[in-house]
């Protein structure tokens, strides 16, 4: 070893020693890779591959180089021209609209009513939040029973009212609205909790000052409470839109997309036409469009709505 | 005299108005309670009907879905509870969720610690990279995920279900852990470094013990997610004996299509663990929801 390389080696060792103070490098070496590798393998790569697969007609049986046929943008044009996909997108938009215009206001009204600390309020909060912990398939199955015109609660009610057998899930006009009732049943408590957390963070003296100034309850809500929990509202709007975009599991036991494909959402469409029929390319093109929508929405929302002060 | 009476009535009035808000309910208060009780009934009736449904015969279920059972018939619950498949599925779910929670928390807290306490090149990019995982559902890549797991030879295995669940749970966990670790007092860290405690030891001996609240919150959310997970096991598992309870429930429903009392009993049995757990852990769930809402 020449003198030069030796001194280079020594300075490298010194550099390494300084960089590794407190085991810094060693810690990085052990702490960083597991997350990055797992995320890359099971999230990043599948998403990137979905982009690639979406240009093929492929049943996924053997390698894509053997059994896949390049079809260019044909999968996309097929999906975009499919009337069932139009219904699915429309339903997803309906779901977003109903969530924002009906579900969130209900959640806010309830939150304002039960935000104050008391035993009875704590009990109410517990009740409203309870459905949230159920699996979506279970919530769907329970309401499949509730809606059963023969055995279920709706059946009993309609018999009491003198009409025979009302099946909300079997009717094209009512099926998706019936599903939305279940969504409201299951997720309102979740949004309520977000609002309550915000409401309980409002300083008490602020509300007292408003009372002294003669503000009535409505003014207190509109002028003080709502502006102060803006962040909680922004958050719950974000979650309900992202939630609507990926809404899926509850529909499987309720209608499975029927009757006559009227109650699909984007993901049940992907499930029915991509996964069940194992059309990898076709399904991936739906996945890619959903991915782009979600990511675009998330970025835009963060940039334009979520204000950081 | 007149003065006196009027004085008395005035003080009586004053007394009444002091007492009135407590004793006599005002109209807004009545309306509020009426609304709360009615909406609570709307929330609870499906639960009530589900739990009782398992005690009723099919005939009674059809004619009396709201009423209490005429006789508390235990045969259906007995049939469900004595089915070894049910216990096998519950065990599978417990295994998958246990592994998912443990490894997600370990891996996510480690990487979050490097983000919060160690300076290194590319930290911002690495963090943003992981966080994008929160923006989209697993469904967007479910077909390519299936191909990937198949190519790895992990279809129908525990690892094949658990690894993707960990990967998709990372983003949210990292976000929670990082913001919590950043709020730990800087002095502890400096003192530990002066004392010659390295990063790794500092993480396991100081950071983790100080982070029990956030560990509990993240753990609870991961548990709710993985205990209830449906689409990943549906795609990645083939053999019914490996199914988690969510798939088992749907299979059971397929078998006993119109025997609602059996299906309702089965639902009841499978949601009891979730409800018990929720009652025990609600503090942490609420804390987790609050964290995002209060912080600006």
pLDDT score of B221? 85
pLDDT score of B19? 46
Strand spans (E) along A167-286:
none
Q: Give DSSP secondary structure letters for B102-159.
A: HHHHHHHHHHHHHHHH---TTHHHHHHHHHGGGSS-GGGGHHHHHHHHHHTT-TTSHH
Mutate to test the interface with B, among A20, A41, A43 (most CBs of B within 10 A): A43
Backbone dihedral angles phi then psi of residue A306, each to the nearest 5 degrees: -70, 100
Residue A115, SS3 per DSSP: coil
Does residue B5 carry a pLDDT above 50? Answer: no
Greater confidence, B171 or B220?
Answer: B171
Q: Which residue of A has its CA nearest to B174?
A: A35
Residue A70, SS3 per DSSP: strand
pTM (2 decimals)? 0.87
B111 and A32 in contact by Cβ < 8 A? yes
The domain ranges of chain B are 85-255
B140 and A28 in contact by Cβ < 8 A? no
Q: Which residue of A has its CA nearest to B58?
A: A151
pLDDT score of B290? 65
Percent of chain B past pLDDT 70, that is, above it, reads 89
Which residues from chain A sit within 8 angstroms of residue B289, using beta carbons? 190, 193-194, 197
- Return the sign of the alpha-carbon dihedral for residues B264, B266, B269, B271: negative
A36 and B126 in contact by Cβ < 8 A? yes
Greater confidence, A244 or B16?
Answer: A244
Confidence of residue B247 (pLDDT cuts 50, 70, 90): very high
Does residue A69 carry a pLDDT above 70? Answer: yes
> How far is Cα of residue A139 from the mean position of the Cα atoms in its chain?
16
Q: Which residue of B has its CA nearest to A274?
A: B143
Does residue B296 carry a pLDDT above 70? Answer: no
Least confident span in A20-29, A235-244, B228-237: A20-29
Percent of chain A past pLDDT 90, that is, above it, reads 61
Mean pLDDT of chain B: 86
Confidence of residue B291 (pLDDT cuts 50, 70, 90): low
A113 and B47 in contact by Cβ < 8 A? no
For A111-140, the pLDDT digits (tens) are 999 988 888 998 999 999 999 989 999 999
pLDDT score of B195? 86
For chain B, say whether A249 makes contact (Cβ under 8 Å).
Answer: yes
As for the ipTM of the complex, it is: 0.88
Burial of A301 from C-beta contacts in 10 A (0-12 / 13-18 / 19+) = middle
**Which residue in the set B166, B198, B294 is minimally distant from A38, CB to CB?**
B166
Does residue B106 carry a pLDDT above 90? Answer: yes
**Which residue in the set B40, B58, B110 is minimally distant from A127, CB to CB?**
B40
Does residue B144 carry a pLDDT above 50? Answer: yes
Does residue B133 carry a pLDDT above 70? Answer: yes
**Which residue in the set B120, B202, B296 is minimally distant from A28, CB to CB?**
B120
For A225-272, the pLDDT digits (tens) are 999 999 899 999 999 999 999 999 999 999 999 899 999 999 999 999
Q: What is the mean pLDDT of residues B114-129?
A: 93
B65 and A245 in contact by Cβ < 8 A? no
Mean pLDDT of chain A: 91
For chain B, say whether A292 makes contact (Cβ under 8 Å).
Answer: no
For chain B, say whether A136 makes contact (Cβ under 8 Å).
Answer: yes
Interface of A with B in 164-223 (CB under 8 A): 185, 189-190, 193-195, 197-198, 200-201
Cα–Cα distance measured from residue A73 to residue A84, given in angstroms and rounded to the nearest whole number: 19
Cα–Cα distance measured from residue B94 to residue B87, given in angstroms and rounded to the nearest whole number: 10
Q: What is the mean pLDDT of residues B273-281?
A: 84
Residue ranges and CATH numbers for the domains of chain A are 3-70 (no CATH), 74-305 (1.10.3720.10)
Confidence of residue B21 (pLDDT cuts 50, 70, 90): very low
pLDDT score of A157? 84
Q: Which residue of B has its CA nearest to A271?
A: B139
Q: What is the mean pLDDT of residues B48-52?
A: 91
Confidence of residue A308 (pLDDT cuts 50, 70, 90): low
**Cα distance from A175 to chain B (closest Cα, Å)?**
18
List the CATH code of the domain at B85-255: 1.10.3720.10
Does residue B22 carry a pLDDT above 90? Answer: no
Does residue A18 carry a pLDDT above 90? Answer: no
B144 and A280 in contact by Cβ < 8 A? yes
Are the CB atoms for B263 and B253 separated by under 8 Å? yes
pLDDT score of B97? 95
């Amino acid at each position: 070893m020449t003198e030069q390389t030796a001194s280079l080696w020594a300075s490298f060792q010194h550099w390494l020693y300084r960089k590794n103070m407190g085991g810094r490098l060693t810690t990085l070496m052990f702490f960083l890779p597991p997350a990055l590798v797992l995320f890359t393998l099971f999230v990043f790569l599948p998403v990137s591959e979905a982009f690639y697969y979406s240009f093929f007609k492929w049943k996924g049986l053997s390698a894509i180089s053997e059994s896949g046929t390049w079809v260019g943008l044909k999968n996309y044009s097929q999906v975009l021209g499919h009337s069932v996909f139009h219904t699915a997108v429309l339903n997803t938009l309906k779901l977003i609209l109903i969530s924002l215009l009906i579900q969130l206001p209900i959640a806010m009204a309830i939150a304002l009513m039960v935000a104050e600390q008391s035993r009875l309020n704590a009990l109410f909060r517990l009740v409203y939040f309870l459905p949230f912990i159920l699996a979506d398939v279970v919530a769907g199955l329970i309401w499949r029973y509730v809606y059963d015109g023969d055995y279920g609660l709706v059946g009993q009610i309609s018999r009491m009212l003198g009409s025979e057998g009302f099946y909300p899930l079997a009717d094209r006009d009512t099926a998706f609205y019936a599903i939305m009732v279940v969504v409201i049943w299951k997720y309102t408590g979740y949004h309520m909790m977000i609002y309550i957390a915000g409401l309980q963070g409002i300083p008490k003296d602020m509300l007292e000052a408003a009372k002294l100034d003669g503000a009535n309850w409505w003014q207190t809500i509109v002028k003080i409470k709502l502006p102060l929990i803006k962040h909680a509202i922004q958050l719950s709007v974000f979650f309900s839109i992202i939630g609507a975009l990926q809404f899926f599991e509850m529909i499987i036991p309720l209608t499975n997309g029927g009757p006559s494909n009227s109650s699909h959402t984007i993901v049940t469409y992907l499930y029915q036409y991509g996964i069940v029929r194992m059309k990898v390319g076709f399904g991936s093109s739906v996945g890619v469009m959903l991915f782009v929508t979600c990511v675009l929405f998330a970025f835009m929302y963060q940039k334009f709505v979520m204000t950081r002060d | 005299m007149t003065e006196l009476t009027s004085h008395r009535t005035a003080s009586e009035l004053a007394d009444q108005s002091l007492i009135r808000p407590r004793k006599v309910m005002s109209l807004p208060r009545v309306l509020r309670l009426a609304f709360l009780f009615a909406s609570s009934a709307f929330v609870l009736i499906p639960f009530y009907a589900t739990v009782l449904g398992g005690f009723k015969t099919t005939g009674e279920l059809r004619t009396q879905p709201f009423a209490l059972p005429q006789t508390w018939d235990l045969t259906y619950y007995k049939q469900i509870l004595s089915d070894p498949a049910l216990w096998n599925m519950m065990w599978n779910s417990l295994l998958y969720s246990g592994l998912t929670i443990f490894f997600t928390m370990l891996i996510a807290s480690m990487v979050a610690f490097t983000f919060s306490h160690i300076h290194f090149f590319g930290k911002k990019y690495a963090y943003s990279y992981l966080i994008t995982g929160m923006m989209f559902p697993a469904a967007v890549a479910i077909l390519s995920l299936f191909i990937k797991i198949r190519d790895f030879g992990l279809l129908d295995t525990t690892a094949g279900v658990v690894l993707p669940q960990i990967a998709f749970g990372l983003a949210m966990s990292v976000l929670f852990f990082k913001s919590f670790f950043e709020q730990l007092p800087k002095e502890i860290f400096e003192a530990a470094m002066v004392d010659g405690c390295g990063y790794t030891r500092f993480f396991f001996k100081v950071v983790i013990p100080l982070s029990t609240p956030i560990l509990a919150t993240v753990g609870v959310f991961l548990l709710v997610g993985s205990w209830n997970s449906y689409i990943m096991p549906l795609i990645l598992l083939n053999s019914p004996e490996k199914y988690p309870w969510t798939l088992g429930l749907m299979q059971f429903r397929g078998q006993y299509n119109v025997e609602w009392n059996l299906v309702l009993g089965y639902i009841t049995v499978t949601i009891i663990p979730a409800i018990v757990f929720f009652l025990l852990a609600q503090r942490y769930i609420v804390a987790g929801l609050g964290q995002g809402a209060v912080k600006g």
